[in-house]
Amino acid sequence: MAKLRVHAFSISLDGYGAGPDQSVENPLGVGGEELHEWVVATRTFQKLYGQSAGTTGVDDDFAARGFENIGAWILGRNMFGPVRGAWPDDTWKGWWGDNPPYHSDVFVLTHHPRASIRMAGDTTFHFVTDGIHAALERAKASAKGRDVRLGGGAATIQQYLRAGLIDEMHVAIAPVLLGSGEHLFNGIDLTKLGYRCGEHVPSAAATHVVLVRT
């Protein structure tokens, strides 16, 4: 059975998946970039952007796992971009330039229809207006037996958690405080939803945990 997987979702010590005041200048909210220092340093991440440097070890292993056997992606609209409401035009094509690091179909959840966009490197953004179940169905069909990776942000992950649709979730707890922003787990009873901590691997840069269904 194809799985829905979350990988490399970073949260602060106080539980925030992004800082406050997300904008074009601060796609991850104020202070949010610090959450991702562990992954940006890795060879896997650097390679996505054509660089040959980068660390290996625990952090890189976790970063790399996030790309294994993935056949399609789902993103929340706020992870795709800062545009809110109806799409004014087709200018915004994601944060990632002409050749985004997905190389598959990417299903973007939105309330506002928009034509699919084909990018370089085999990434195509599709805009799904009929909800999280429909997005998952389309992503699974596109993945042809491989798994689907759910990117974020926090609100999107919460929706899929509450619906019991996430099979495996790697969270990296970064050694920073954000104080406010988008909390990942607030109001979600993970135990009641059937999750437990299946793996716990700390590194100097982050604590990696994998939540799995019991």
Q: By the criterion CB under 8 A, which residues form the site for a copy of itself?
A: 13-15, 31, 171, 173, 175-180, 185-186, 188-193, 195-197, 200, 202-204, 207, 209, 211
Q: In terms of CB distance, is 130 or 189 closer to a copy of itself?
A: 189
Minimum CB separation of residue 10 from a copy of itself in Å reads 13
Minimum CB separation of residue 195 from a copy of itself in Å reads 6
DSSP strands (E only) in the chain: 4-11, 16-18, 70-76, 105-109, 117-118, 124-128, 147-150, 168-173, 182-183, 195-202, 207-213
Minimum CB separation of residue 35 from a copy of itself in Å reads 12
Minimum CB separation of residue 165 from a copy of itself in Å reads 18
Q: In terms of CB distance, is 14 or 68 closer to a copy of itself?
A: 14
Q: In terms of CB distance, is 116 or 180 closer to a copy of itself?
A: 180
CA distances to 16, 39, 51, 60, 120 from 47, rounded to whole Å, are 27, 12, 5, 11, 16
Q: In terms of CB distance, is 18 or 178 closer to a copy of itself?
A: 178
User: Which amino acid appears at position 60 of this protein?
Assistant: D
